[in-house]
Amino acid sequence: MNIRKSVEGLIVMDGQEELKNHEEWNESYYFNFYDRKNQVTAFMRIGNKVNKNEKSMFFFLMTPQQTAGIKLETPCDDKPLSIAGLEYQELGPGKWNLQFNGSIFNPLEKVPTEFKVKMDVTWQALNPVMDYVDCVDEKQAEMSSNVASEHYEQFGRAQGIIEIDGKSFPVEEALGERDLSRGVREWGSPKMWMWINSEFSPEEAFNVTKLSTDEGDVDAGYFYTNSANQPLVKSDIDVKFNQGIPSRFSMVLYDKQGSQYPVEGEVVRMGMVPVDEQMILIETLSKYQWEGKEGYGIAEFLVPKP
C-alpha cells in the first residue's frame, strides 16, 4: 500500500477507494475533556458506517460520585453528526460546538439510575492536527488498516456548561483531545489497543496509540512541546491491572528525533463501553506525571471481554 499526499495536503494511501466499499468502512468523530475545578470528565463519539447503514454513538460523563452514559446505534440519515441528542457542529478550523440533550444511565446498576443532561460546549484546538501517517512506515500502515487507515489527533480547550438533573457545572478551562478516523473499523481485528492522552497545560500535551495485531505492534502519536508536534514512533508501556482493570501504567515514549519522554499514569476513575460480542472499551480518567508536571487525560484500553 503506497502512501501519498492528497491535493489538500493530507496523507492518503493508495487503495483507499477500494477500502471505502468495505461494509465496515467508518468515519468517526471523538471528543473528550476534563474540567479540573469541577472534576467533570466527558467523552463522546459519533461514527457512521454508511455501507452498513449504521450510525452509532456513545456519550459518557464521569464525576467523583458517578459514571453514567448512553450507547446506541441507528440507521444512517442526512445528519451524520447528530444522533440521539448528541450533535457536533464545526464552527471553523479546529473549533467545534458540542451539544447533548438527553438521558444517560449508570450501566453498572441492576436498575440503572437515569440522569437528565444538557451540554453546550465549545471545543477549540491548541495545536496543529497530527496525522498518524507521520509516525508509521508502509508496513505499519498496512497492519492498522482494519482499524483506521486515516487517523488524525489534536488537543484543545473546552468551555461552556453542563447541566445534570438541573444542577449546572460551568466548563471553564477544561482540556481534552479530539480524534478523527476514517477507514475500516472492525473492533475485533486488533488483539488489543491502548489510546492514551494527557494535557499538562495549554502548551504541553501528548497522545499515543499502541495497536497490537497478529503481525506485531503499531505505535503512533505526538508529544506537543516547544510549540510543535513531535511525532512519536515507539512506546514502551507497562500496565498494572487490578481485578482485570488497568490501574497504573509506566511509559517511555520515543519521538522521531530520538528524544524520550518518561511518563507515569494512574487511573482515577473509569467507565466501560461494550463495542461488540468479543471486545470491551475501558475508558479511564487518568492522572499523569512528567518531569514534575501533573496532567490529566483519557487512557482508553480495548481488550477482550473477560
Point out the residues of the chain with pLDDT beneath 50.
Answer: 1-16, 144, 147-148, 187
Per-residue cell: 55:
450510525
In the prediction, which pLDDT does 142 show? 63
In the prediction, which pLDDT does 53 show? 96
Mind listing the pLDDT tens digit for each residue in 155-198? 999 999 999 999 999 999 899 999 999 887 554 555 678 999 99
In the prediction, which pLDDT does 268 show? 97
Q: Across-strand partners of 3?
A: 13
In the prediction, which pLDDT does 190 show? 53
In the prediction, which pLDDT does 217 show? 84
In the prediction, which pLDDT does 71 show? 94
Quote the CA–CA distance of 144 and 136 in Å, as a whole number. Answer: 10
Mind listing the pLDDT tens digit for each residue in 227-260? 999 999 999 999 999 988 899 999 999 999 999 9
Q: List the domains of the chain with CATH numbers.
A: 3-304 (2.40.370.10)
How far from the centroid of its chain's Cα atoms is residue 144's Cα? Answer: 16
In the prediction, which pLDDT does 138 show? 65
Per-residue cell: 110:
441492576
